[in-house]
Amino acid sequence: MKKNILLIFILLLISCKSDDNHNKSKNLILNDNLQKLQSPNKNLDLSFHLDLNGRPIYSLNFENKAVVLESGLGFIIKDNVEWMKIDTLDMMNNFKILDIKFDTKDEVWRPVWGEESEIRNNYNEMLVELEQSDSERRLNIRFRLFDDSFGFRYEFPQQKNLGSFIVIDEKTEFAMNGDHTAFWIPGDYDTQEYNYITSKLSEIKKKSIEFKEENVSMFRFSDWGVQTSLMMKSVDGLYINIHEAALIEYSAMHLEFNPKSMTFESHLTPDAFGNMAYMNAPHNTPWRTVIVGNSASDILASRITYNLNEPSKIEDTSWIKPTKYMGVWWEMITGQSTWWYTDDLSSVRINETNYDSLTPNNTHAANNTKVMRYIDFASEHGFDALLVEGWNIGWEDWFNKKKDYVFDFQTPYPDFDIEKLNKYAEKKGISLMMHHETSGAIRNYERHIDDAYSLMNKYGYKSVKSGYVGRIIPAGERHYGQYMVDHYIYAIDKAADYKIMVNAHEAVRPTGVARTYPNHIGNESARGAEFRGSKLNHTTILPFTRLIGGPMDYTPGIFEMDPRKNRPDFTPNLNETLAPGSVTTTLANQLGLYVVIYSPLQMAADLPKNYMRFPDAFQFIKDVALDWDESVYLEAEPGEFITIARKQKGSNNWFVGNSNGYNKRDAIVNFEFLDSNKTYTAKIYRDKEDSDYATNPQSYEIEEIEVTSDSKIKITTVPAGGFAISIFPN
């Protein structure tokens, strides 16, 4: 069979028209090992061959334009025993093809929640089975071509000459066809919470050196390093996105740009010894993905990340519900209240410190009176849940201290009556949302996780916001290393046993794993609303980067952009730098984010008192849906603007959101996505003429008009402005 396949492809090759990119071949192609694969609609072409060194080489074209030029694949590994004393082994060269297998799939599956209720999974597949001539070690590479994207993974089959081994380096390349414009954040083992940089590929190093943002845990490994998902606009007008899918039992992949070869090289996240991953055959790596299209919207519409993940492991998903929530949180972020209960002590010891004997600081937010007030407000306005942070003992010295036993996730502060508050919330139709800040002490969290989840079950908590602030314990492990990747999955998998939904902050960027664990309803893993302001175009980039892997708990809905004004004693001081929680958008932009930043978990992050100042704008947050039948990407340009329309799941309501970048702009909303035989009432929440994110962000207007599928309207957005539209059928 192998021989026949080879023959077919030799014939195919001969009939192939020559294209420009082949002129850039680094190596002579041996005709008898060139393999080709096309996507179902033939838009995407993959070529694969072994070069003269026996190294696997691939390249990718889209409509005959080069997306990835000839790029190498493979690994440097070590045998696992006595690994400190021995040399590395090459698993990159000297391969021969043992067999090639083809497959194709066209199916539709229904996610538990998502941007659309049905997802098509349609690809052509090529599995290349390789063996090294000298060592007889075997490596398979599985390629899948979708109409809008490309993915491949390495598979180490069960074999005699490779059992347990160490990945010293993954040598995956993505050779670029020009000096594209990229939207990127620096490669970092411990944080993703950066503003995005827009630059030419060749400028990455320079911009990286200039980029001074700091975080409590960070490790930037190279001035040429960037994180995925990496968004690019190519020199010949293509939109290209590189990411990974199904990051499980492996370390997260970064990219390091080589300016000489104009090639991105994979850079995994190491452990304390610099080892990248520990593997044992049979086992696979995550998928490496490239999405490509002629318009930016094509990137947003791709479903490759979910399609390359395994179906849900959870059989009964009836308990997994999109959730709109408020929180006892923003007042701590903005410095008006504290997570901790007392200022008496510089350090506490869980199960030893007697809190009842200490003086309350009177700024502890998670107290019975206040929580009940929040419950009342959330209930009155139709929310599902209320997050309460700072409910449990230990916050006095929790922060980034490499303190192992930092929390027990069990013991409430003396002024937080866990039973009473949960009963009160239940009576009001609100579910309290649990908070598990680990402070990076992973062993401690895993030791307590069963008891912590049990406590949630006991009191009726349905979801948990988990946090991984600060440096990881054990020492030398990184937020995005294999050890931590494995932990995040462990916490989510175990939560499913308790029917608990998880929203993990500071965890590794998502890679579509929520398909397999749909209780994983949220992640932060990027710069959210809580910072001292972000670049004006931040939210026009997030959907092209961070959101490619899954939903983000961005915590939008900030109506008071200057958090100092929340304080009763506020007096303006123009010399003061931006306070934590400062927001650099208009209020209308904040509303648009509920549609622009897809998440089944959406927060109204601001204080109740600020919502009461703008009840008409608050109405949009109350109205907007969380789960969708259909999403239409109306207009989008990374870094500039984005407008998305979404149809509420099981309803004829639509919601439109827009976020605008640095420049004032007229957005055009074409309502052709509506049913042609219906009329609708559209309520438009928009910037006013005098809106200004810095000086007058709360200037907005609300307009109600009738629309049909023939309607087309122009909405002017100011810099960092935006709009939101609710559309209800008449």
Q: Using the rule CB under 8 A, is 311 a contact of a second copy? A: no
Cα dihedral across residues 220, 223, 224, 227: positive or negative:
positive
Catalytic-labelled residue, pool 524, 530, 560, 635:
530
Shortest distance, position 444 Cβ to a second copy, whole Å: 10
Which segment (278-286, 460-468, 496-504, 567-575) binds a second copy by CB under 8 A? 278-286
Smallest distance from a second copy to CB 504, Å: 18
CB of 284 to a second copy, least distance (A): 12
Phi-psi region of 440 (alpha: psi -120 to 50; beta: other; left: phi over 0): left
Among 25, 80, 336, 711, binds a second copy (CB under 8 A): 80
Part of the chain binding a second copy (CB under 8 A), chosen from 6-14, 154-162, 368-376, 526-534: 154-162
Pair 40, 307: CB distance under 8 Å: no
Question: In sequence order, which residues have a C-beta less than 8 Å from that of residue 185 and are 6 or more positions away?
Answer: 192, 194, 195, 196, 197, 226, 227, 545
Q: Which of 342, 464, 471, 333 is nearest to 397 (CA)?
A: 342
Number of residues that bind a second copy (CB under 8 A): 45
What does residue 519 show for φ and ψ, rounded to 5 degrees? Answer: -75, -5
Whose Cβ is closer to a second copy: residue 8's or residue 86's?
A: 86
Contact residues for 481 (Cβ-Cβ < 8 A; gap 6+): 189, 251, 252, 269, 270, 271
Closest C-alpha to 302, from 104, 568, 122, 97: 122
Q: How far is the CB of 191 from a second copy (least distance, A)?
A: 15
Indicate which single residue of 280, 294, 359, 663 sits in contact with a second copy (rule: CB under 8 A): 280
Is the four-CA dihedral 587, 588, 590, 591 of positive or negative sign? positive
Q: Which stretch binds a second copy (CB under 8 A): 57-65, 94-102, 265-273, 362-370?
A: 265-273
Binding range to a second copy, per CB under 8 A, among 190-198, 309-317, 392-400, 663-671: 392-400
d(CA 726, CA 652) in angstroms, rounded, equals 11
The H-assigned helical ranges of 581-643 are 587-596, 608-613, 615-623
* Rounded Cα–Cα distance for residues 378 and 388 (Å): 12
Minimum distance, C-beta of residue 210 to a second copy, in the bound complex (Å):
21
Of residues 83-142, those binding a second copy (CB under 8 A) = 83
Specify the pairing of strand 138-145 against strand 65-72. Answer: unpaired
Stretch that binds a second copy, among 8-16, 76-84, 545-553, 634-642 (CB under 8 A): 76-84
Pick the closer one to a second copy by CB: 344 or 637: 344
Q: Tell me which of 12, 30, 206, 282 binds a second copy, using CB under 8 A.
A: 282
Of residues 486 through 505, those in contact with a second copy by CB under 8 A are: 486, 490
- Kindly tell me which of 449 and 720 has the beta carbon lying closer to a second copy: 449
Q: Is 354 in the site for a second copy (CB under 8 A)?
A: no
Which stretch, 170-178, 277-285, 301-309, 311-319, contacts a second copy (CB under 8 A)? 277-285
The only residue of 24, 107, 134, 273 in contact with a second copy, by rule CB under 8 A: 273
The Cα 149–Cα 60 span in angstroms is: 10
Would you count residue 341 as binding a second copy (CB under 8 A)? no
If one asks whether residue 296 binds a second copy (CB under 8 A), the answer comes out as no
Q: Are 534 and 509 in contact (CB under 8 A)?
A: no
Taking only Cα atoms into account, the Rg of the chain, rounded to an integer number of angstroms, comes to: 26
> Contact region for a second copy (CB under 8 A) — 23-31, 341-349, 427-435, 582-590?
341-349
Binding mask 432-461 for a second copy (x = CB under 8 A): -----------x--xx--x-----------
Q: Which of 109, 211, 399, 614 binds a second copy (CB under 8 A)?
A: 399
Q: Are 146 and 601 in contact (CB under 8 A)?
A: no
CA distances for 582 relative to 345, 539, 562, 603, angstroms: 30, 15, 5, 17
**CA–CA separation, 492 and 410 (whole Å):** 19
Tell how strand 431-437 and strand 463-467 pair up. parallel
| Choices 269-277, 318-326, 422-430, 563-571 (CB under 8 A): range interacting with a second copy | 269-277
For 468, how many CA atoms within 13 A lie in the half-sphere containing its CB? Answer: 33
Residue pair 550/512 in contact (Cβ under 8 Å)? The answer is: yes
Distance from C-alpha of 546 to C-alpha of 230, rounded to nearest angstrom: 9
Looking at 101, 120, 207, 402, which residue binds a second copy (CB under 8 A)? 402
Cβ(361)–Cβ(338) below 8 Å: yes
When the beta carbons of 78 and 200 are compared against a second copy, the nearer one is 78
By the rule CB under 8 A, 162 interacts with a second copy: yes
Least CB distance to a second copy at residue 273 (A): 5
For the bound state, the minimum distance from the C-beta of residue 351 to a second copy, rounded and expressed in Å, comes to 13
216: Cβ contacts below 8 Å, ≥ 6 apart:
191, 399, 400, 469, 470, 471
- CA 1 to chain CA centroid, Å, is 42
Tokens of 9: 């492809």
Phi, psi torsion values for 653, nearest 5 degrees: -75, 145
Tokens standing for 125? Answer: 């597949």
> Of the candidates 64, 104, 133, 158, which one interacts with a second copy according to CB under 8 A?
158
CB of 405 to a second copy, least distance (A): 9
Q: Amino acid identity, residue 375?
A: I
Of 403 and 465, which has the nearer Cβ to a second copy? 403
530 is catalytic: yes
Q: Nearest distance from residue 246's CB to a second copy, in Å?
A: 16
Q: Taking the complex as a whole, how short is the minimal distance between the CB of residue 446 and a second copy, in angstroms?
A: 6
- Residue 343 touching a second copy (CB under 8 A): no
Closest approach, Cβ 408 to a second copy, in A, equals 14
Q: Indicate the residue among 275 and 519 with the shorter CB distance to a second copy.
A: 275
Residue 157 in the binding site for a second copy (CB under 8 A): no
Q: Which of 477, 506, 560, 640 binds a second copy (CB under 8 A)?
A: 477
One DSSP character per residue, 274-292 reads S--EEEESSEEPPEEEEEE
HEC readout, 318-347: CCCCCEEEEEECHHHHCCCCECCCECCCCC
The single residue among 36, 65, 205, 401 that binds a second copy, judged by CB under 8 A, is 401
Choose the binding region for a second copy from 34-42, 49-57, 270-278, 687-695 (rule: CB under 8 A): 270-278
Mark 564-583 with x for binding to a second copy (rule: CB under 8 A) and - for no binding. Answer: --------------------
Closer CB to a second copy, residue 215 or residue 716? Answer: 215
The smaller minimum CB distance to a second copy, of residues 138 and 647, is found at 138
Q: Does 345 participate in binding a second copy (rule CB under 8 A)?
A: yes
Calpha distance 281→283 (Å, rounded) = 5
Where does this chain bind a second copy (CB under 8 A)? Answer: 80-83, 158-164, 166, 271-273, 275, 278, 280-283, 345-349, 352, 397, 399-404, 443, 446-447, 450, 474-477, 483, 486, 490
Which residues are marked as active site?
A: 530
